[in-house]
Every structure is written in structure tokens, then in C-alpha cells.
Amino acid sequence: MKTLNLHNSQIHFFLPDRLESEGSVLVVSDSQVAPLYLKQFLSQIHAPQVFSYILPSGEESKNPKELFSLLEYALACKLDRKSLMIALGGGVVSDIVGLASGLYMRGIDFYSIPTTLLAQVDASVGGKCGINSPQGKNLIGIFHQPSKVFISPLFLSTLPPREFNAGLAEVIKMAICFDSSLFSSLSSPQWVKQNIEEVIYKSISLKAHIVEQDERESNLRASLNYGHTFGHIIEQEGDYKKYLHGEAVSMGMVMANALATSYNGFSQNKEVIELLQTYHLPTHYHINHLSSFFDALFLDKKTQNRKIKFILPKAIGSYEFAYPQEEEIMEVLRDFV
């Protein structure tokens, strides 16, 4: 049974049969995951008091109203500083629970039990949490590391294929930036299915290695945002409903690759598109309003004083930070209109 240590977080690659807590526990799940796993999970918790709370599933829940409803419920349960929140669900659940537990009495512990591939390889590790605004994704949030993360591929058996593939988009992202041999392995969906534990472990290890060196994203950690600068705008333009996060990242990577091709002569966008299509991920985004798409870039968290920091691949397995001129970005975006 493998475990990774990351700052104050322990990432366990198993699900415990029994979870004990000295203080009260509040398990937060969503309307999709709760019917499948909540009851069974609650029965495994041994604590003075156990409460549960169900969020509406979907990215739209990452808003101030849902956050404060959850916080008010926690207050009504009289959780104290020894209490524990547990996120049982996808990235939306762990993002909200990470933020709520970070704000509750200025911070109580939380555990994350990610039930989607996306949350397993991405949201549950690294401590970023937050909610969305009309102006963009995750613009309101904090860093709050879960004290424990439990990762089990068992949950993936009930995951719709579309969501599984969207999760793989983040694995592909890691492979493009950091690991060309992982990129090659991913070309066989058969191999991926059979070795999903290894794929998850590999992807998380790569992420943990980065986060360990730069938790607060002073520099290095920004590399994990490859595909996300464009991806966030795509998600937002689709009202967080039209595309899953991984699908938006998929199209965002293709756009970033087009910019890389212009900026540094990156020549493997075709291979990337092929791999993404293997998993039925969308690879072309049609920009409706070029100027508003362009303007939205300047609200990205990686933008400072109107300089946008892009993460651009140089070749499969390596990347660079780049600050292309506004005109060069615009030129590339015109191909997507």
C-alpha cells in the first residue's frame, strides 16, 4: 500500500475500511456520488458525531452561495476546531470543502476522497481550492492542503466514460510537460485501462514533485497550468456546463500548442491531437468573439501587469514559460475563429 508525503498531506493509495476521528466529522458529497457511495462510507466512520451534506453536482456549485450554505450547515452542526470535514466526490466537492474547511474557524482539517479520475490525478492533490466568479474560474480561493487523501480506482467503475476521458486529459497534460515515456504508454487505451493504478500513481507523483518545490506557485508550479489559460476561458464561455474541465483543457492544450508552434517551433501538435482523439476528447474550439476571448486572458491569475505567462511545450516531455507579444497571441487565435 503506497503512500506519498506532500507537505502536511499524506496521499494514500487505498481506501480504509474504518476511519476514526477524535472530533465530529462532516462528510460532504454531491448529488451524483452520494447515492452510490455515501451510505456505505458513513458506516465506516467512527467519531463522536457524524454529519453529511450533499451539494448539487456540477461546476456551477462552486459559487459563494453554496460555499456559505455549507459553512452555515457546519456551524449548525457546531463543528469545532477538532472537527474534520471529508470531501467524497469529484473536484468540485474537494474544491469547496477545501475552501470551507480552510475558512471554518480560520481553518480545520479536511480529508479528500476523490471519486473521479480528474479529482484523483488533479484536484485532490496540491491544496488549491476555490470557487468561480462570473469573471473566471477559481479566482476566489486559498491554499489548503488536505491532511489525508485516499485514492482508490474502485470508484472509477461507476464513472461515465466521458468523465474518465476528461480525467485522462490531465494525465496527458502531465505527460506532455514532464514525461515522454508516459506519453507513449498512453497511446494504448487498453494498457491504460489495465494499468490505471500505475497511471494515477505516476501522474500524482509528477504533480507532487512540482508542488513540493513550489506550493504557492511562485514559479515552477505554474507549469501545471499548461492548457489551462485558454481552457479556463473555454469553460467559462460554455457556462461551465458545455464542457467538462478536462475537455476544455484538451482544447486549451491544442491552442497552447499552436502558440508554441509559432513561438518556439514546437512540431508535435499532431501527435498530441491524435492522442487526445484516442480518448474522444475535443481538439478544436471555435472562438465566437475574438476580442472578448482575448480580453478574458487578462483576468487569468497567471497574468500580471498585462503580461501573460504561458506554459508552452518545446517537445513532448519538456516545456518553457513564455511571454509572447499580444500580437502573436492574437495571430494564433485568429485560426480558431
Nearest CA among 164, 121, 120, 128 for reference residue 145: 128
- CA dist 155 and 225 (Å) reads 26
Binding of its own copies at residue 323 (CB under 8 A)? no
Which residues in 181-194 are b (16+ Cβ under 10 Å) and which e? ebbebbeeeeebee
Among 64-72, 196-204, 263-271, 310-318, the segment contacting its own copies (CB under 8 A) = 64-72
Binding of its own copies at residue 78 (CB under 8 A)? yes
Binding of its own copies at residue 40 (CB under 8 A)? no
Binding of its own copies at residue 14 (CB under 8 A)? no
Which cell numbers hold the place of 13?
Answer: 493509495
Q: What binding mask, one character per residue, do residues 174-213 give for its own copies by CB under 8 A, x or -?
A: ----------------------------------------
Residues 6+ apart with CB under 8 A from 93: 28, 29, 30, 33, 55, 87, 119
Q: How far is the CB of 81 from its own copies (least distance, A)?
A: 6
- CA dist 9 and 123 (Å) reads 13
Strand 318-322 relative to strand 310-315, pairing: antiparallel
- CA dist 257 and 271 (Å) reads 11
Among 34-42, 69-77, 163-171, 233-241, the segment contacting its own copies (CB under 8 A) = 69-77
Which cell numbers hold the place of 45?
Answer: 466512520
Q: What binding mask, one character per residue, do residues 301-320 give for its own copies by CB under 8 A, x or -?
A: x-xxx---------------
Query: Which of residues 15 and 77 has its CB atom nearest to its own copies in the complex?
Result: 77
Query: Which of residues 47 and 315 has its CB atom nearest to its own copies in the complex?
Result: 47
Binding of its own copies at residue 20 (CB under 8 A)? no
Binding of its own copies at residue 321 (CB under 8 A)? no
Q: How far is the CB of 266 from its own copies (least distance, A)?
A: 27
Interface residue with its own copies among 13, 53, 104, 285 (CB under 8 A) is 104
Query: Which of residues 67 and 93 has its CB atom nearest to its own copies in the complex?
Result: 67
Q: What is the distance between the terminal CA atoms of the chain, rounded to a whole angstrom? A: 49
The one-letter amino acid code at 176 reads I
Among 1-9, 13-21, 78-86, 234-242, the segment contacting its own copies (CB under 8 A) = 78-86
Q: How far is the CB of 208 from its own copies (least distance, A)?
A: 19
Residue with cell 476523490: 114
**DSSP string spanning 210-252?**
HHHH-TT-SSGGGGGGTTHHHHHHHHHHTTTTSS-HHHHHHHH
- CA dist 11 and 206 (Å) reads 13
Binding of its own copies at residue 46 (CB under 8 A)? no
Binding of its own copies at residue 142 (CB under 8 A)? yes
Q: How many CA atoms lie within 13 A of 287 on its CB side?
A: 21
Binding of its own copies at residue 153 (CB under 8 A)? no
Q: How far is the CB of 225 from its own copies (least distance, A)?
A: 13
H/E element, 131: strand 128-133
Among 98-106, 110-118, 157-165, 257-265, the segment contacting its own copies (CB under 8 A) = 98-106
Q: What is the chain's Cα-based Rg?
A: 20
Binding of its own copies at residue 290 (CB under 8 A)? no
Binding of its own copies at residue 139 (CB under 8 A)? yes
Q: How far is the CB of 9 from its own copies (least distance, A)?
A: 17
Binding site for its own copies (CB under 8 A): 22-23, 48, 64, 68, 71-72, 75-76, 78, 80-82, 102-107, 128, 130, 133-136, 138-143, 216, 298-299, 301, 303-305
